[in-house]
Amino acid sequence: MKIIFIAALFCTLAVKISAATLQIEITPKVAGENLQPASFRYRTSAGETFSVTRVSYLASDFALQRNDGSWLDISNSVAWLDFERNRNSIWLEKIPAGEFCSVRFLVGLNTNLNHADISKFPASHPLNPNLNALHWSWQGGFIFLALEGLWRNSSGELDGWAYHLARDTNATRIMLAAPLIVTNETKLELDFNLATLLNAPQPLSFGKDGSSTHSRNGDPISAALVKNLAGAFSVHRISNLTDAQIAGAHPKPLYLTAKFTPYPFQMRATFTIPDLPRDNPLTVERVALGKTLFFDRQLSINNAQSCADCHSPEKAFTDGRRTARGAEGEFGMRNAMPLFNLAWKKEFFWEGRAKSLREQVLQPIQNPIEMHETLMNVVTKLNGNTILPASPDARQRVPTNDYPALFTAAFGLPEITAEKISLALENYLLTLTSFNAKFDRVLRGEEKFSPEEQRGFELFSTEYDPRRGQFGADCFHCHGGPLFQSQSFANNGSDGTLKDLGREKVTGKASDRGKFAVPSLRNIALTAPYMHDGRLRTLEDVIKHYAIGVVRSATLDPNLAKHPDGGVPLSAADKQALVDFLKTLTDAQFAAEK
């Protein structure tokens, strides 16, 4: 089913906190100390040194026990907790004030929730897979607990470990004595002790037991994790909140005209609901203005380059170049990114330095090696004025667009400002959705994969885990789900010594060195060359990279570090099958329409 929806525009009801609220905060610890991300200070009982880079899990079905022994079930209570993202709390709201003696919850989900229709979860819901990256997508069901890191194997080499606990039967009940007097705002602090989880009562060793699990039936690592989970949580402290909870203010729509036409946003039913900006609702008028701006060369210093010159629709909005070439002929360091399904992203550019599209779009205009124009000059030109002296390589400007009229239709007044330019471009970019590839039609039963494409899909979505007889290519960890990308940053082993620090430039953390946004693989056959610096020319080169070219470094993603040196072993036929599968992700309709 194709979904078209018009976002609810306003929802400005004030949030009132009336009944009692209990905040449960859970902190990952190792032997009483806060977990240090990516630090090699930990040892398994077998003496292996290791680090932890990811602790991400789902907790649900919270309940509080009254002193008379009865339980207060908090309906619909579910939390996604993620160490790296500082998500460490769940707020149980509107619960009756009173005294309780214990708390219980599930690590994982009950069967109903685990198999719920994921396309129905709102964008900020803890179970929205686009948010939590914990869904197995085509395999069905959630990962309840994802633990990942690196370890040093017996030959002293860096290796990855990835323990993913999943499957209905592995949802684990935790129960803790906690003498709580829940008044207006009470906070219960819990510790999640990872030393216990990996050690007691059942010790785990990466070398002996294996460095990865996907919790298939009868898997010994997942059985040990379940056994150890029960003792891994403990009560740290109970207190009353001092800072009042900030009522989530809903932003009001900016410059909304009295009359406007809501723009029908289109996507596929298998996609999750995106979090469209409420203060910049999609309107037909704004999208039209944004599109006109996107194709207008007046946005560049010499009127020689538009956004579309680097983001060409027939190449899924890329430019076919290794790295981008600016209006004045200078080359940048990075490969132009494809522009579609941006509505699901929260951070833009290869290292995620822009927090919104409206912030992003003003950067290429002003970037000295891209369009190199000032926002003031752009506004002057859009108002119909010529800026002198025009540079010698300027193309003849044909003033065909009546911008004051377009701005009036979009924002109510003819006045042109940089902010409105950014809002209109944001509107247009959000409408670029791609969801009609052969892959989608095969899922709907309208077309069939060739045997090679089918084989490629299997390889793509199967782990590489020889101990358990799995010999896939393990791509889905990062490129999984309907968008074929996780909204995260990873080092996929392209470099040992890095010219581009990537994500570290934003976070300042050495543990983010060489990490780049995981790109979508939709339309991948249209967007060569590949990677943040365009180093790989063809899809065959990309598959070769994952088979023999993965370079180990301190930040190599554990999901790749756990593979043999170089990458996943693949036969020539399997490599070709992966390429054939990737080509089924091309959406010809998207390429033609936009």
Query: How far is 383 from 388, CA to CA, in rounded Å?
Result: 15
Q: Which residue has the tokens 């298998």?
A: 270
Label residue 336 exposed, middle or buried (CB < 10 Å: 0-12, 13-18, 19+): buried
Give residues 364-383 in contact with ligand HEC (rule: CB under 6 A).
Answer: 364-365, 370-371
Closer to ligand HEC by CB, 226 or 478: give it: 478
Instruction: Report in angstroms how near the CB of residue 37 gets to ligand HEC at its nearest.
Output: 17
Q: Is 471 in the site for ligand HEC (CB under 6 A)?
A: no
Among the listed residues 29, 420, 532, 594, the single contact to ligand HEC using CB under 6 A: 532
Q: Is 387 in the site for ligand HEC (CB under 6 A)?
A: no
Among the listed residues 74, 109, 198, 473, the single contact to ligand HEC using CB under 6 A: 473
CB-CB contact of 216 with 170 (8 Å): no
CA 17 to chain centre: 31
Instruction: Report in angstroms how near the CB of residue 19 gets to ligand HEC at its nearest.
Output: 41
Q: Among 260, 308, 303, which residue's Cα sits nearest to residue 280?
A: 260
Q: Which two tokens stand for residue 445?
A: 């039963």
Among the listed residues 494, 511, 523, 553, the single contact to ligand HEC using CB under 6 A: 494
Among the listed residues 61, 191, 474, 580, the single contact to ligand HEC using CB under 6 A: 474
Q: Is 341 in the site for ligand HEC (CB under 6 A)?
A: no
Q: Is 542 in the site for ligand HEC (CB under 6 A)?
A: yes
Q: Among 472, 484, 502, which residue's Cα sits nearest to residue 567?
A: 472
Instruction: Report in angstroms how near the CB of residue 98 gets to ligand HEC at its nearest.
Output: 47
Measured between alpha carbons, how far apart are the two ends of the chain, in Å?
21
Among the listed residues 51, 88, 215, 492, the single contact to ligand HEC using CB under 6 A: 492
Give residues 250-269 in contact with ligand HEC (rule: CB under 6 A).
Answer: none
Closer to ligand HEC by CB, 226 or 579: give it: 579
Give residues 408-467 in contact with ligand HEC (rule: CB under 6 A).
Answer: 425, 429
Closer to ligand HEC by CB, 109 or 293: give it: 293
Distances (CA, A) of 313 to 248, 316, 339, 430, 589: 38, 5, 9, 14, 11
Closer to ligand HEC by CB, 195 or 582: give it: 582
Among the listed residues 44, 53, 298, 305, the single contact to ligand HEC using CB under 6 A: 305
Give residues 6-25 in contact with ligand HEC (rule: CB under 6 A).
Answer: none
Q: Is 171 in the site for ligand HEC (CB under 6 A)?
A: no
Q: Which two tokens stand for residue 420?
A: 């409105």
CB-CB contact of 325 with 462 (8 Å): no
CB-CB contact of 341 with 275 (8 Å): no
Q: Is 555 in the site for ligand HEC (CB under 6 A)?
A: no
The neighbour count for residue 142, using CB atoms within 10 Å, is 25
Torsion, Cα 229 133 28 506, to 10 degrees, reads 170
Closer to ligand HEC by CB, 226 or 473: give it: 473
Q: Is 324 in the site for ligand HEC (CB under 6 A)?
A: yes
Residue type, 302: N
Query: How far is 147 from 135, CA to CA, in rounded Å?
Result: 14
Instruction: Report in angstroms how near the CB of residue 276 gets to ligand HEC at its nearest.
Output: 15
Among the listed residues 361, 424, 432, 577, the single contact to ligand HEC using CB under 6 A: 361
Q: Which two tokens stand for residue 386?
A: 């010529």
Instruction: Report in angstroms how near the CB of residue 427 gets to ligand HEC at its nearest.
Output: 11
Of 138-146, 249-257, 280-288, 518-526: span binding ligand HEC (CB under 6 A)? 518-526
Label residue 302 exposed, middle or buried (CB < 10 Å: 0-12, 13-18, 19+): middle
Closer to ligand HEC by CB, 54 or 477: give it: 477
Query: How far is 159 from 565, CA to CA, in rounded Å?
Result: 9
Q: Is 578 in the site for ligand HEC (CB under 6 A)?
A: yes
Among the listed residues 57, 105, 121, 350, the single contact to ligand HEC using CB under 6 A: 350
What's the Rg (C-alpha) of the chain?
A: 26
Query: How far is 414 from 383, CA to CA, in rounded Å?
Result: 9
CB-CB contact of 54 with 69 (8 Å): no
CB-CB contact of 298 with 397 (8 Å): yes
CB-CB contact of 267 with 483 (8 Å): no
Among the listed residues 336, 406, 416, 424, the single contact to ligand HEC using CB under 6 A: 336
Instruction: Report in angstroms how near the CB of residue 65 gets to ligand HEC at its nearest.
Output: 42
Closer to ligand HEC by CB, 273 or 582: give it: 582
Instruction: Report in angstroms how near the CB of residue 27 gets to ligand HEC at its nearest.
Output: 26
Q: Is 527 in the site for ligand HEC (CB under 6 A)?
A: yes
Instruction: Report in angstroms how near the CB of residue 113 gets to ligand HEC at its nearest.
Output: 27
Residue type, 467: R
Distances (CA, A) of 499 to 467, 488, 496, 528, 532: 37, 21, 10, 21, 11
Query: How far is 241 from 248, CA to CA, in rounded Å?
Result: 17
Q: Which two tokens stand for residue 84?
A: 């790296």
Of 16-24, 127-135, 388-396, 517-525: span binding ligand HEC (CB under 6 A)? 517-525
Among the listed residues 479, 513, 522, 562, the single contact to ligand HEC using CB under 6 A: 479
The 10 Å CB-count burial string (b at 16+, else e) for 543-567 is bebbbebbbbbebbbbbbbbbeeeb
CB-CB contact of 131 with 79 (8 Å): no
Distances (CA, A) of 376 to 379, 382, 389: 5, 10, 16
Q: If binding means CB under 6 A, how many residues of this protein chain bind ligand HEC?
A: 52
Instruction: Report in angstroms how near the CB of residue 249 gets to ligand HEC at its nearest.
Output: 27
Q: Is 506 in the site for ligand HEC (CB under 6 A)?
A: no
Residues that bind ligand HEC (CB under 6 A): 294, 299, 305, 307, 309-311, 324, 326, 332, 334, 336-337, 339, 342, 345, 348-350, 357, 360-361, 364-365, 370-371, 425, 429, 473-475, 477-479, 490, 492, 494, 516, 518-519, 521, 524, 527, 530-532, 542, 546, 557, 559-560, 578
